[in-house]
């Protein structure tokens, strides 16, 4: 175990959190039960908001950034984990209220960890990351609602399709035999999305225009990571009895919608949160990912980048320029 290591840390600069690289020791880490040696983390939209300062993510400072961990238990005071166990952690307030993942080592609570699924290496688990695990939570929510399984002839729309949540949602839905329509603002990603299983495409501007709020039925359901008028339009085009899983705000946190889809078509808006989701939901979502996510497709959506590139990578994801998932190598 090395004594000193580099971490990406937000500090108070003129009253605002500002990220930078710092040398830490194990003594700098919080006094929590499990010390994890981190192999990889990942880049999520929330990380981009923190890195660019476009969102106030860290609630106390200094704060190590990064919301996703995959690595190996190095020390444990908990009977649940022993040195050598391979583990994954998504969310639980990391980089907000709890010290995060952009570091070679971190101490975490035992109950935040789940075992690394046998299907994945630590790199692959971070290719999935919070975005992919959230996509799985969305598909779980849609299947729990129960409409899409009996309407496989109808389209399911995935918005923000070329992003992290969107790419994994397309792949997971297609793997279960659903007819996936990808809504994207980047026509150059159509071939990539078709490779993941999308069979139809919508230009995102069509959904982003002033909502028709209640239009002709088109979708059995949707996975929305965009919010704003896009979500309102998806709701307004969802079939009687269908449902939309909403998890994101890449366009807006507003919802300029009509109640008509709810009260005239019984459409359901299913809210999905990954950060504080209970362990049973997490393990179920990861089991779906292990079962349905094709490894070749996962590799096709993934790039691995050194932690030293975080400032540039954070700006790119907030600008909507990132395709698929970015794994962060915390040793580089
Ligand atoms: N609820 C949760 O627990 C949870 C968990 C994970 C993520 N999220 C949220 O989900 C969203 C997506 O996260 P991500 O990691 O997938 O981010 P991402 O990789 O940046 O993907 C977001 C995608 O949204 C589309 N988009 C961006 N700006 C847009 C705009 N102004 N109008 C319409 N579409 C736009 C782009 O897709 P195209 O290029 O294909 O158009 C972009 O690739 C974020 O808001 C994130 O905070 C929430």
CA 142 to centroid of ligand 1, rounded, Å: 19
Confidence check: pLDDT of 222 > 80: yes
What pLDDT, on the 0 to 100 scale, is given for residue 212? 78
Question: What residue's CA is closest to ligand 1, atom 30?
Answer: 251
* Whole-prediction pTM: 0.96
Please check whether residue 37 is in contact with residue 1, taking contact to mean a CB–CB distance below 8 angstroms: yes
| Position 221 confidence tier, pLDDT thresholds 50, 70, 90 | very high
Confidence check: pLDDT of 151 > 90: yes
CA 78 to centroid of ligand 1, rounded, Å: 36
**Ligand 1 site: residues with CB under 6 angstroms?**
44-46, 130-131, 134, 160-166, 184-186, 204, 208, 225-226, 230, 247-251, 272-275, 317, 320, 322
Please check whether residue 251 is in contact with residue 226, taking contact to mean a CB–CB distance below 8 angstroms: yes
* Beta bridge pairs of residue 14: none
Q: Which residue has the higher pLDDT, 62 or 1?
A: 62
CA 2 to centroid of ligand 1, rounded, Å: 36
Cα(214)–Cα(248) distance, integer angstroms: 21
What pLDDT, on the 0 to 100 scale, is given for residue 3? 82
Name the token pair of 270.
């299913």
Supply the DSSP string of 252-317, one letter for each residue: -S-----SHHHHHH--EEEE---SS--HHHHHHHHHHHHHH--HHHHHHHEEEEEGGGHHHHHHHH
Choose among 78, 66, 77: nearest CA to 104.
66
What pLDDT, on the 0 to 100 scale, is given for residue 165? 96
What pLDDT, on the 0 to 100 scale, is given for residue 35? 98
Q: What share of the chain in percent tops pLDDT 90?
A: 95
Confidence check: pLDDT of 209 > 90: no
Confidence check: pLDDT of 1 > 80: no
Q: Best mutation site among 90, 91, 165 for ligand 1, i.e. most ligand atoms within 8 A of its Cβ? A: 165
Q: What's the pLDDT tens digit per position in 22-62?
A: 999 999 999 999 999 999 999 999 999 999 999 989 999 99
Q: Best mutation site among 66, 225, 228 for ligand 1, i.e. most ligand atoms within 8 A of its Cβ? A: 225
CA 45 to centroid of ligand 1, rounded, Å: 7
Handedness of CA 61, 65, 66, 71 (dihedral sign): negative
| Position 211 confidence tier, pLDDT thresholds 50, 70, 90 | confident
Choose among 328, 271, 284: nearest CA to 303.
328
91 CA closest ligand 1 atom index: 3
Q: What share of the chain in percent tops pLDDT 70?
A: 100
Cα(196)–Cα(301) distance, integer angstroms: 9
Average pLDDT over residues 226-254: 97
275 CA closest ligand 1 atom index: 3
Cα(74)–Cα(39) distance, integer angstroms: 12
277 CA closest ligand 1 atom index: 3
Please, what's the b/e burial string for 301-312 (b: 16 or more CB within 10 A of its CB; e: otherwise)? Answer: bbeebebeebee
What pLDDT, on the 0 to 100 scale, is given for residue 15? 85
């Amino acid at each position: 175990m090395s004594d000193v290591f580099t971490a990406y840390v937000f500090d108070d600069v003129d009253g605002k959190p500002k990220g930078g690289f710092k040398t830490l020791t194990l003594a700098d880490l919080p006094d929590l039960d499990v010390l994890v040696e981190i192999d990889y983390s990942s880049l999520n939209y929330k990380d981009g908001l923190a890195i660019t300062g476009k969102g106030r993510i860290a609630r106390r400072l200094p704060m190590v950034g990064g919301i996703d961990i995959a690595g190996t238990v190095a020390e444990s005071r908990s009977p649940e984990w022993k040195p050598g166990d391979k583990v994954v952690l998504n969310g639980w307030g990391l980089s907000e209220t709890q010290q995060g993942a952009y570091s070679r080592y971190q101490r975490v609570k035992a109950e935040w960890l789940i075992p690394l699924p046998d299907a994945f290496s630590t790199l692959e688990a971070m290719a999935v990351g919070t975005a992919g695990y959230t996509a799985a939570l969305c598909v779980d929510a849609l299947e729990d609602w129960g409409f899409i399984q009996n309407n496989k002839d109808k389209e399911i729309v995935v918005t923000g399709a070329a992003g992290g949540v969107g790419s994994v949602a397309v792949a997971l839905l297609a793997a279960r035999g659903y007819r996936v329509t990808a809504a994207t603002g980047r026509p150059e990603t159509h071939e990539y999305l078709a490779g993941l299983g999308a069979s139809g495409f919508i230009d995102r501007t069509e959904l982003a225009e002033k909502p028709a709020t209640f239009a002709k039925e088109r979708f059995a359901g949707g996975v929305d990571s965009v919010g704003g008028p896009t979500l309102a339009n998806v709701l307004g085009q969802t079939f009687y009895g269908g449902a939309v899983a909403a998890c994101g705000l890449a366009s807006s946190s507003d919802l300029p919608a009509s109640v008509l889809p709810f009260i005239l078509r019984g459409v359901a808006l299913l809210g999905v949160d990954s950060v504080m989701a209970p362990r049973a939901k997490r393990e179920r979502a990861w089991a779906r990912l292990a079962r349905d996510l094709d490894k070749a497709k996962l590799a096709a959506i993934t790039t691995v980048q050194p932690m030293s590139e975080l400032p540039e990578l954070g700006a790119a994801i907030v600008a909507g320029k990132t395709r698929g998932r970015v794994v962060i190598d915390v040793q580089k």
